[in-house]
A and B are shown apart, each in its own frame.
Chain A
Amino acid sequence: MYGCVLEGWEKMTDTHVAPPKKAAAAPQPDEPKNTALARAALLLLRGRTLVVLVLLIIIFSSISSEYLTQSNLILMTKHVAINAILAIGVTFVILTGGIDLSVGSIAGLASMVAGGLLFKGFDMPGGTVFFSVAVVILIGIVVGALVGAVNGVLITRFKVAPFIATLGMLYVARGAAQLHSDGGTYPDLAGTEARGNTGFGFIGVDSILGIPVAVWIMVVVAAAAIIVTTKTPFGKRIFAVGGNERAAVLSGIRVNRIKIAVYVISGACAALAGLLLTSELGAAYPDTATTYELNAIAAAVLGGTALAGGRGTIIGTVMGAFVIGFLSDGLVLVGVSTFWQSVVKGAVIVFAVITEQAQQRLQSNLTKRTA
């Protein structure tokens, strides 16, 4: 959301520094109060995820002294990490105007593939082979990316609507996860020295400098995603495809490639999230991350990503994941019942969409005024 706020400033200053001679329509310094007020409201709306997050922290820390402790903040951030990584992947897809409902299932499938490789190895004609943890993680992510690629091909080559294609994949990938172990759980992923596959706990359990590895991974993924979306031609093309696909085609952008790429990214992120969850749990079960796709989409929407595509930020999505995570954990911490947790979460998401629309309205009004 900082990105959004800064962008807002940039736009505002851009408008202000426009030399008056350039256009008679340029705003004059004696700008009336209501416009200034509207601008302030817009700024507040743009930063609403941050505002909500701060409010949550204030409310919960006033109820429980444990909420704002360092260890709880670290723990909550760790819980956020999994949803944030899923949501970052989904944001790429939503920016192109698509949707990915299969991320929860992909996380489950990657979890089972990795769990199987660690627990019972890989059966080859010459005998069972055990891969090192690094290779297992890599294979898990590749599996997620491949499933994402299938989504992308279905959508671009076979013209299946993204909602339908990924809904189908939601079932297929979950089924594949269940088939992988015939429905069972891989209970022990610690590995053995003899097989050379110990250390899977590193990504989900261990910490570096007091910060969980999962949080570091989230930071790296988010940083990479921010750079990709804002600083690379690929990123700009994602926004262009979502903003106006026909204009993107005419600009020589290979729209189908971009689309396949975002589903691959989404699949890989989902797989990574599934692996983190599995590592932390020390066990892989086929229902891992069931319905997590909804949390991920909610985080993206909460963070200001427009479902129509073309508009949104990674930072916003991460903030959205923080709001959802800090809210859920806070409700558990103060002992609110499960039913109320659902009600509150749903209400916050709908509220976010309402404010998103208020922001759009205000923004277009202001744009008209300056035009």
Chain B
Amino acid sequence: MPEILEARNISKNYGGVRALKDVTFTAYRGKVNVLVGENGAGKSTLMKILSGSEQPTSGEILLEGEPVQLGSPRDAQARGIGIIHQELSLFPNMTIAENLFAGRELRKGSRFVDAAGQRRQAREVLQRLGQDRLDPGTLVGDLPIGQQQLVEIGRVLLTDVRVLIMDEPTSALSNHEVDVLFDVMGDLRRDDVTVIYISHKLDEFRRIGDWVTVFRDGSLVAHESMSRTDTGWIVRQMVGRDPDSLYVRNSSPVGDVLLDVRGLTVPGTVKVDDVSLTVRAGEVVGIYGLMGAGRTELVETLMGMRKASAGEVAIKGKPEPKGTVQARMAAGLALVPEDRQRDGLVQTMSVRENILLATLARMTRGGLLNGGAEQRTAKDKVGELAIKIPGLGALVTALSGGNQQKVVLARALLTDPVVLLLDEPTRGIDVGAKSQIASLMADLAAQGFGVLFISSELAEVMAMADRVLVMARGRVTAEFTAENVTEEALVSASASESVLEAAK
């Protein structure tokens, strides 16, 4: 098996922290090399080194057997190593074509941009990405996030890559878009391009990967041909324990109706159309659907962040007509938002301040904040949710994704909710943290909370929810119980509206 890129005995220290410990990693030519591991396991650090944006503390990199110095991302690009980052680096105010060619515009003469040529090539790239209907003149800011991700991938396809590193490229993609991406990856593989693919989604990378490499705590713990592994083996390598405990099924007795929604309608580009649902005490209810189905809009409206044009919301049997965030919070709702960077965290504040933000008024003595009470309350929650932090005073941005998510959850729990609304609670966090969040949700249900969560992952929603509602185009199109839910039924209900009629 010819290896193209090899990292030999790489170590990387950040200050006193050893992010990579003597890692020797091999990527095979023309294969999809999957990298998995919990957040902070060292995958991203290794990728930064391989793409030239970080330098190893010790060790060497070999490209086709030759030792190379990758001093900058430009160096790496010149040698045919491209990277697609998890965070998008597009210009929302420019068109697709302009984005694809940003920084390396096609020239007409020596000065002028060959706009027509760019559009032509852009159209070809979009075709390759299965987006034939997309006009290259569309502003990127107007695209849904999944298509933006595809544009980002298109940028790399335009360069002459030999090794393509993809850092969780599918986290924002719909199932259809993921299929397209995998087709593209198949093409690349046929063109002898090597792909290094970082992912958290077990079901996905098992479909596409040829080799799997597992990282844990800065070390490479396993390296195996995909065909000789199974999901259980991979999870065991990643978390160092049995995968059966990955998702904890809620089994609490179900109590009174805590949240009762009747005919909720919200106008807008992504609308919510006549949605009714209930959540009972001790129940974990999942909402499955594609992006743009109105799921986020539904929970944001429940939380009072959007105004409903019709419908009623009752909490613990009492109608809550005001519909402001404060009123809904006081009534017993709490929301952990999907995009924690945009909606959840105050990046300029510490862990402690973020945890206490919604309940500051309770931390006072004589009108002034009581530092002791603050410290105690925050510390208790940190312990309760097992949040890993360098200190309560550390900036919240210093935490990993899963721990940031727990900070937002801690804040929500402090408001004494009866029903927790969780929008994609496991998005972008690693398997270990996912399992922790899942068991937390089961714990909360056992304590008598009602839990309503949104998920785009079939396996997750099937494993965790007592009941699953499926949304499509703003409507609830189907409802299943844990007993009668199947993958096929979920997928078809999420794709159309007609299923509702069929189910009834």
Residue B232 lies at the interface, judged by CB distance under 8 Å to chain A: no
With both beta carbons as reference points, the residue of chain A lying nearest to B415 in the complex is identified as A252
Query: Cα distance A320–B322 when bound, in Å?
Result: 45
On chain B, the residues within 8 Å of A306 by CB distance are 348
Query: Cα distance A15–B393 when bound, in Å?
Result: 8
A35-B15, A239-B348 known; A371 vs B388 contact (CB < 8 Å)? no
Residue B305 lies at the interface, judged by CB distance under 8 Å to chain A: yes
Residue B400 lies at the interface, judged by CB distance under 8 Å to chain A: yes
Query: Cα distance A193–B349 when bound, in Å?
Result: 54
CB interface residues, A 356-371, toward B, < 8 Å: 366-371
CB distance from A233 to the nearest CB of B (A): 4
Q: Are A371 and B390 in contact (CB under 8 A)?
A: yes
Q: Are A371 and B346 in contact (CB under 8 A)?
A: no
On chain A, the residues within 8 Å of B390 by CB distance are 14-15, 18, 23, 25-27, 370-371
Of the candidates B342, B357, B393, the one whose C-beta lies within 8 Å of that of A251 is: B357
With both beta carbons as reference points, the residue of chain A lying nearest to B374 in the complex is identified as A236
Residue A159 lies at the interface, judged by CB distance under 8 Å to chain B: no
Of the candidates B217, B303, B346, B392, the one whose C-beta lies within 8 Å of that of A248 is: B346
Query: Cα distance A23–B388 when bound, in Å?
Result: 7
Q: Are A232 and B14 in contact (CB under 8 A)?
A: no
On chain B, the residues within 8 Å of A11 by CB distance are 391, 393-394
CB distance from B48 to the nearest CB of A (A): 11
Residue A249 lies at the interface, judged by CB distance under 8 Å to chain B: yes
B: number of interface residues (CB 8 Å): 48
Query: Cα distance A14–B348 when bound, in Å?
Result: 17
Per-position contact with B for A232-275: 1 when CB-CB < 8 Å, else 0? 11001101101110111111111000000000000000000000
Q: Are B40 and A25 in contact (CB under 8 A)?
A: yes
A232-B364, A239-B346, A252-B329 known; A14 vs B392 contact (CB < 8 Å)? yes
A15-B391, A23-B388, A233-B369 known; A243 vs B346 contact (CB < 8 Å)? yes
On chain B, the residues within 8 Å of A240 by CB distance are 346, 349, 353, 357
Of the candidates B218, B305, B344, B393, the one whose C-beta lies within 8 Å of that of A24 is: B218
Residue A335 lies at the interface, judged by CB distance under 8 Å to chain B: no
Of the candidates B40, B348, B368, the one whose C-beta lies within 8 Å of that of A232 is: B368
On chain B, the residues within 8 Å of A123 by CB distance are none
Q: Are A367 and B364 in contact (CB under 8 A)?
A: no
Q: Are B303 and A250 in contact (CB under 8 A)?
A: yes
CB distance from B302 to the nearest CB of A (A): 12
Per-position contact with A for B331-361: 1 when CB-CB < 8 Å, else 0? 0000101000011111111000100111011
Residue B102 lies at the interface, judged by CB distance under 8 Å to chain A: no
Q: Are A232 and B346 in contact (CB under 8 A)?
A: no
Q: Are B361 and A249 in contact (CB under 8 A)?
A: no
Residue B367 lies at the interface, judged by CB distance under 8 Å to chain A: yes
Q: Are A244 and B15 in contact (CB under 8 A)?
A: no
On chain A, the residues within 8 Å of B202 by CB distance are none
Q: Are A233 and B391 in contact (CB under 8 A)?
A: no
On chain A, the residues within 8 Å of B325 by CB distance are 249-250, 252
On chain A, the residues within 8 Å of B502 by CB distance are none
On chain A, the residues within 8 Å of B367 by CB distance are 232
**Which range holds the interface residue count of chain A?**
35 or more
Q: Are A246 and B364 in contact (CB under 8 A)?
A: no
Query: Cα distance A159–B325 when bound, in Å?
Result: 20
With both beta carbons as reference points, the residue of chain B lying nearest to A10 in the complex is identified as B393
Q: Are A246 and B343 in contact (CB under 8 A)?
A: yes
On chain B, the residues within 8 Å of A250 by CB distance are 303, 305, 325, 335, 337, 343-344
With both beta carbons as reference points, the residue of chain B lying nearest to A252 in the complex is identified as B329
CB interface residues, A 189-226, toward B, < 8 Å: none
Residue B119 lies at the interface, judged by CB distance under 8 Å to chain A: no
A251-B411, A370-B398 known; A27 vs B349 contact (CB < 8 Å)? no
On chain A, the residues within 8 Å of B363 by CB distance are 233
On chain B, the residues within 8 Å of A249 by CB distance are 305, 325
Of the candidates A14, A231, A248, A254, the one whose C-beta lies within 8 Å of that of B391 is: A14
Query: Cα distance A311–B353 when bound, in Å?
Result: 13
Q: Are B369 and A232 in contact (CB under 8 A)?
A: yes
Residue A126 lies at the interface, judged by CB distance under 8 Å to chain B: no
On chain A, the residues within 8 Å of B361 by CB distance are 233
On chain B, the residues within 8 Å of A227 by CB distance are 368
Q: Are A27 and B343 in contact (CB under 8 A)?
A: no
With both beta carbons as reference points, the residue of chain B lying nearest to A241 in the complex is identified as B346
Q: Are A244 and B17 in contact (CB under 8 A)?
A: no
Residue B231 lies at the interface, judged by CB distance under 8 Å to chain A: no
A18-B390, A31-B15, A248-B346 known; A253 vs B400 contact (CB < 8 Å)? no
Query: Cα distance A233–B360 when bound, in Å?
Result: 5
On chain B, the residues within 8 Å of A369 by CB distance are 14-15, 17
With both beta carbons as reference points, the residue of chain A lying nearest to B346 in the complex is identified as A243
With both beta carbons as reference points, the residue of chain A lying nearest to B17 in the complex is identified as A25
CB interface residues, B 74-91, toward A, < 8 Å: none
Q: Are B388 and A22 in contact (CB under 8 A)?
A: yes
A243-B348, A247-B346 known; A367 vs B17 contact (CB < 8 Å)? no
Residue A128 lies at the interface, judged by CB distance under 8 Å to chain B: no
Q: Are B346 and A244 in contact (CB under 8 A)?
A: yes
CB distance from B104 to the nearest CB of A (A): 27
Residue A182 lies at the interface, judged by CB distance under 8 Å to chain B: no
Residue A28 lies at the interface, judged by CB distance under 8 Å to chain B: yes
On chain B, the residues within 8 Å of A368 by CB distance are 14, 398
On chain B, the residues within 8 Å of A247 by CB distance are 343-346, 357
Query: Cα distance A310–B397 when bound, in Å?
Result: 14
Q: Are A236 and B17 in contact (CB under 8 A)?
A: no
Residue B229 lies at the interface, judged by CB distance under 8 Å to chain A: no
Query: Cα distance A239–B393 when bound, in Å?
Result: 15
Residue A29 lies at the interface, judged by CB distance under 8 Å to chain B: yes
Query: Cα distance A63–B118 when bound, in Å?
Result: 64
On chain A, the residues within 8 Å of B357 by CB distance are 236-237, 240, 247-248, 251, 253
Per-position contact with B for A327-371: 1 when CB-CB < 8 Å, else 0? 000000000000000000000000000000000000000111111
On chain B, the residues within 8 Å of A243 by CB distance are 346-349
Query: Cα distance A215–B245 when bound, in Å?
Result: 66
On chain A, the residues within 8 Å of B347 by CB distance are 243-244, 310
Residue B326 lies at the interface, judged by CB distance under 8 Å to chain A: yes
Of the candidates A14, A28, A246, A310, the one whose C-beta lies within 8 Å of that of B17 is: A28
With both beta carbons as reference points, the residue of chain B lying nearest to A236 in the complex is identified as B360
Q: Are B398 and A371 in contact (CB under 8 A)?
A: yes
CB distance from A316 to the nearest CB of B (A): 14
Query: Cα distance A236–B349 when bound, in Å?
Result: 9
Residue B145 lies at the interface, judged by CB distance under 8 Å to chain A: no
Per-position contact with A for B178-219: 1 when CB-CB < 8 Å, else 0? 000000000000000000000000000000000000000110
With both beta carbons as reference points, the residue of chain A lying nearest to B411 in the complex is identified as A251
Per-position contact with A for B92-133: 1 when CB-CB < 8 Å, else 0? 000000000000000000000000000000000000000000
Residues in A lying within 8 Å of B, measured CB to CB: 10-11, 14-15, 17-18, 22-32, 35, 227, 230-233, 236-237, 239-240, 242-244, 246-254, 306, 310-311, 366-371
The 4 closest A-B CB pairs, nearest first, are A14-B391, A233-B360, A310-B348, A243-B346
Question: Could you list some 23 contacts between A and B, CB below 8 A?
Answer: A11-B393, A14-B394, A17-B391, A24-B40, A26-B17, A27-B17, A28-B16, A35-B16, A231-B369, A233-B360, A233-B364, A244-B342, A244-B343, A244-B345, A249-B305, A249-B325, A250-B303, A251-B357, A251-B358, A367-B398, A368-B14, A368-B398, A371-B398
Extra contacts, 10 of them, besides A236-B369, A252-B415, A370-B17 (Cβ < 8 A), are A14-B390, A15-B394, A24-B217, A230-B369, A232-B364, A232-B367, A247-B343, A252-B326, A369-B15, A370-B390
